[in-house]
């Protein structure tokens, strides 16, 4: 009786172990899926300073984020008119043999500081612009700050038109100091070079909305793209599938012969006609390797040289041969034991 119970207990433990392994696999798959493009936006929250909602573009940001199903919070930021991001970091916890998805949250190292044209003109007029921006970046724990400069083109356009037309019509811009675009450009250039602070010019709420969406998407996809790039860097550039001439191979093997043809076309002066002549005789690398194994080195170098190349169609088609030089290069490439062997001066 005890043996039966012991056997049942072992079976149950085995079943529980398999179930837990399956649950762990599913949880890991779910975490990986959540990192993919299109899904990862769910893991990001946009944090918007409440002062932004007193501006003309405040409400439109919320509407755009809602339409894109992006989470957002209206909070009091340590710097007025700032937008920051937090990201949910998911992981699988297997405590007590119960696989479950858990989360931690991290503050992303990016911030967008929105300055309207009135603030910008006032700060530059008082020679405080650079110091103000650097001070705010310090408050933000030295995040990578991008400035959103709002409404400056209309400001500069006003003064340009006023100079050219000598108009006496008063506008809101006449009550502010006049600054030169060159002065602003100089200030922004110094900030970029000395402090690594970039900027974007914004004229409409749509411009700002697009900027916030672009930052949010880039932050959300950063981990996925980083991991993808790391994997690609471990693969030789010739076998990546990211170039425009890549060949798709399905589960039935369709496309393999085209891959074989493209590999042969990597040789200098290997035209499509030459490659087709070789693959018609040796339709796969294995068939060519097998032929080489049954040859002496001298015969191997000459194996392909007499294969006929048909240049045109019809009864008077001109024919030529692959030739000894190409035959020797291909033999050396596929049979050499030394990876540093020079196939020819042309390759």
List pLDDT tens digits, range 3-25. Answer: 555 665 767 667 767 777 777 78
Cα distance between residue 188 and residue 176, in whole Å = 20
Q: Where are the beta strands (DSSP E) in 158-230?
A: 198-202
Average pLDDT, the chain: 82
Q: What total of structural domains would you count in the chain?
A: 2
Same domain (yes/no): 263, 208? no
Q: What is the phi-psi region of residue 330: left when phi exceeds 0, alpha when psi lies from -120 to 50, beta otherwise?
A: alpha
Same domain (yes/no): 198, 279? no
The token pair at 61 is: 């940001």
> Domain for residue 162, yes or no?
yes
Same domain (yes/no): 140, 102? yes
Identify the H or E element spanning 48: strand 44-49
Residue 316 is predicted with a pLDDT of: 46
Looking at residue 301, which CATH number applies to its domain?
A: 1.10.150.670
Q: 276-295 b/e with 16+ CB inside 10 Å = b?
A: ebbbeebeeeeebeeebeee
- Scanning the structure block, which residue is given the tokens 């700032």? 82
pTM: 0.63
The token pair at 45 is: 């929250």
List pLDDT tens digits, range 231-267. Answer: 766 655 445 555 555 667 677 767 788 888 888 888 8
Residue 257 burial (10 A CB sphere; 0-12, 13-18, 19+): middle
Same domain (yes/no): 160, 281? no
> Domain for residue 141, yes or no?
yes
> Domain for residue 264, yes or no?
yes
Same domain (yes/no): 127, 85? yes
Give Cβ neighbours of residue 306 (< 8 Å, ≥ 6 apart): 321, 322
Looking at residue 229, which CATH number applies to its domain?
A: 3.40.50.10130
Same domain (yes/no): 229, 262? no
List pLDDT tens digits, range 43-70. Answer: 999 999 999 998 888 889 999 999 999 9
What residue numbers bound the domain in which 301 lies? 256-335
Beta-bridged to residue 185, according to DSSP, are: none
Return the higher-pLDDT residue of 280 and 346.
Answer: 280
Cα distance between residue 146 and residue 201, in whole Å = 11
> Domain for residue 179, yes or no?
yes
Q: What is the DSSP letter of 326?
A: H
**In this structure, is the dihedral angle defined by the CA atoms of residues 270, 272, 273 and 275, taken in order, positive or negative?**
positive
């Amino acid at each position: 009786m005890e043996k039966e119970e012991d056997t049942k207990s072992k079976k149950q433990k085995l079943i529980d172990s398999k179930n837990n392994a399956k649950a762990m696999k599913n949880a890991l798959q779910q975490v990986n899926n959540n990192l993919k493009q299109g899904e990862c936006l769910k893991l990001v929250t946009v944090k918007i300073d409440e002062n932004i909602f007193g501006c003309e573009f405040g409400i439109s940001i919320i509407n755009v984020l809602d339409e894109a199903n992006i989470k957002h919070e209206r909070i009091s930021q340590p710097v007025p008119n700032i937008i920051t991001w937090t990201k949910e970091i998911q992981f699988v916890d297997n405590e007590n043999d119960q696989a479950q998805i858990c989360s931690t949250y991290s503050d992303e190292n990016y911030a967008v500081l929105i300055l309207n044209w009135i603030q910008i003109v006032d700060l530059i007029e008082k020679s405080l612009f650079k110091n103000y921006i650097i001070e705010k970046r310090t408050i933000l724990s030295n995040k990578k700050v991008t400035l959103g400069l709002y409404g400056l083109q209309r400001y500069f356009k006003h003064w340009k038109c006023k100079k050219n037309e000598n108009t006496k019509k008063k506008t809101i811009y006449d009550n502010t100091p006049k600054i030169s675009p060159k002065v602003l450009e100089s200030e922004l250039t110094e900030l970029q070079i000395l402090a690594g602070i970039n900027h974007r010019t914004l004229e409409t709420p749509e411009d700002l909305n697009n900027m916030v969406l672009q930052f949010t998407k880039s932050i959300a996809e950063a981990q996925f793209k980083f991991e993808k790039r790391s994997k690609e860097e471990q693969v030789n550039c010739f076998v990546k599938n990211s170039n425009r001439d890549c060949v798709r191979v399905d589960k039935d093997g369709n496309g393999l012969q085209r891959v074989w043809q493209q590999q042969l076309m990597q040789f200098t002066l290997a035209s499509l006609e030459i490659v087709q002549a070789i693959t018609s005789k040796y339709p796969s690398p294995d068939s060519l390797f097998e032929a080489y194994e049954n040859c002496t080195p001298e015969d191997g170098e000459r194996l392909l040289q007499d294969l006929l190349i048909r240049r045109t169609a019809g009864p008077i088609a001109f024919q030529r041969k692959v030739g000894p030089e190409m035959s020797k290069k291909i033999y050396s490439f596929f049979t050499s034991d030394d990876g540093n062997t020079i196939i020819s001066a042309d390759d």
